[in-house]
Amino acid sequence: MRRGNRLLFLAFAVLALHGCAAPMQAKGPEGGTSEIALHGGGGAANADRLQQDIEQATTSLQGVVLERQENSVLLTIRSDELFEPEAAVLKPASEARIGIIAAILNRSVQACVTVHCHTDSTGSEQTNLILSEERARMVKEALSAKGLPPARLTALGHGESQQLTSNATENGRQINRRITLEINPLQP
C-alpha cells in the first residue's frame, strides 16, 4: 500500500472509531459531484429524540427549517441570518443562534454534524464555491468553540451547485443561499 493510501486509510479508520467520517465526494454521471455519507449508525429513535429537542429549542428562531431524512435531521438556516451578504464573517447576532444549536447537540444524543453551505448563482462559480467553503468552515469553528468535538464536525461548501429554485428573482436567490446542518445521531 502506497504511503498516501495508508494515510487516507488511517484517517478514515480514526474517524470511524470516533463514530464519524467525513462525507466523500464522488464524480456523478454528468461530471458533477455527489456525496457518499460514511457516518456511523444512529437509528430512528435517536433521530426522533434529536428532532424533538431541536424543534423545542428552535421555536423562537426565525428562518430555521427542520426536516427529517431517514435517520438524519436537517436544520437549514438562511445565510442572511448568519452572514452579511457576500461575506464569510459571522454576524454578532448569529452567535446566539449557533449557541442554541450547539447546546442542543451538547446535551442530547451524540451526533456527527456536516455543515453544508450553499450560494445563489450571482457572481462567478469559483467565487461562490470559495465563499461557501469559508462560510462552512466558520460555522464549523463556531460550533466547535461552543463545545462540539471537532472530530464530529465536517464543513462542505457547495457554491451554486445545489440550487433549490430559480435564481431569476431575489426570493429565489434568498432560498438558494442557505446553511444546512446535517445531523446524524450516533448509536449509544
Q: Is the pLDDT of residue 27 over 50?
A: no
Tell me if 142 is assigned to some domain: yes
CA distance 97 to 179: 12
Decide if 171 is inside a domain. yes
Contact 131, 86 (CB under 8 A): yes
pLDDT score of 155 more than 90: yes
In sequence order, the 6+-apart residues with CB closer than 8 A to the CB of 8 are none
The CATH number of whichever domain residue 122 belongs to comes to 3.30.1330.60
DSSP state, residue 142: H
User: Is 14 inside any structural domain?
Assistant: no
pTM: 0.73
> Mind listing the pLDDT tens digit for each residue in 66-122?
888 887 889 999 998 999 888 999 999 898 889 888 888 887 667 889 999 999 999
Task: Answer yes or no: is 7 within a domain.
Answer: no
* Domain assignment of residue 26, yes or no: no
Q: How many domains does the chain have?
A: 1
Contact criterion met (CB below 8 Å) for 55 and 105 = no
Q: Which residues span the domain enclosing 109?
A: 41-185
Residue 102 within a domain: yes
Report yes or no on 167 lying in a domain.
yes
